Amino acid sequence: MKRFLVLVVLLASIVLLVQVINNLSAEDDYTIDGYLINKGNSTYLIADENFDLEKAEMLSNKQLIVAYSGTYVIDKSGRTKNGDKVRIWYSPKEIQEMHPARLKVLKLEKIN
What is the homologous superfamily of the domain 31-110 according to CATH? Nucleic acid-binding proteins (2.40.50.140)
Residue 52: per-residue pLDDT: 94
Would you call 4 helix, strand, or coil by DSSP? Answer: helix
- Count other Cβ atoms within 10 Å, centred on residue 83: 15
- Given a contact cutoff of 8 angstroms between Cβ atoms, the answer to whether 85 and 34 are in contact is yes
Q: Give 35-94 pLDDT, tens digit per residue.
A: 999 988 889 999 999 999 999 999 999 999 999 989 999 987 778 889 999 999 988 777
pLDDT at residue 43 in the model: 92
In this predicted structure, what is the pLDDT of residue 6? 80
Instruction: Indicate if the pLDDT at residue 112 is higher than 90.
Output: no
Does residue 111 carry a pLDDT above 60? yes
Q: Do strands 42-46 and 71-74 pair parallel, antiparallel, or not at all (unpaired)?
A: antiparallel
Residues 93, 65: Cα–Cα separation, whole Å: 23
Domain spans of the chain? 31-110
User: Which has the higher per-residue pLDDT, 4 or 83?
Assistant: 83
Q: Which of 112, 91, 111 is nearest to 103 (CA)?
A: 91
pLDDT given for residue 22 in this prediction: 63
CB 44 within 8 A of CB 36: yes
